[in-house]
Amino acid sequence: MVDRIGESAAPAIAKPIGTKEVKEVEVEQKPVTEPAKQSTPLKEEELQKFADQVNTFLQPSQTHVQFEYHEDLQEYYAVIVDNNSEEIIKEIPSKKILDMYAAMTEFMGLFVDKKA
């Protein structure tokens, strides 16, 4: 079969639509020599200094930050409070999430203790 003068039409190999050609890539494996560093919790003095710095930044927005202590988890979380109404605007992370996390860890502790 001839499409144009002097050219023959060779059957084309159809490539499925939406497929990509996959190339092999060599990935270099690096040995793990140093364990990941865990963040150390801030001391109360450092936390207060940080809160003062953030509060200076937040002054124009008429808000301030407080750090609350979660008894069950024994960790601090941030609370952003309106200066005028003393209403909590935002909790970071949410106290409800922290309560749920504490309940799950307590449940898992009970589950593991009973299993063993």
Taking the domains of the chain in order of start, what are their residue ranges? 44-115
Q: How confident is the model at residue 103 (pLDDT cuts 50, 70, 90)?
A: very high
Confidence (pLDDT) at 28:
67
pLDDT at 8 over 70: no
Question: pLDDT tens, 14-55?
Answer: 555 655 565 666 656 666 555 555 566 667 788 889 889 998
- Buried residues in 9-42 as b, exposed as e (16+ CB within 10 A): eeeeeeeeeeeeeeeeeeeeeeeeeeeeeeeeee
The span from the CA of 55 to the CA of 69, in Å, is: 18
The proportion of the chain whose per-residue pLDDT surpasses 70, expressed as a percent, equals 58
In one-letter notation, the amino acid at residue 10 is A
pTM: 0.55
Buried b (16+ CB within 10 A) or exposed e, 70-85: eeeeeebbbbbbeeee
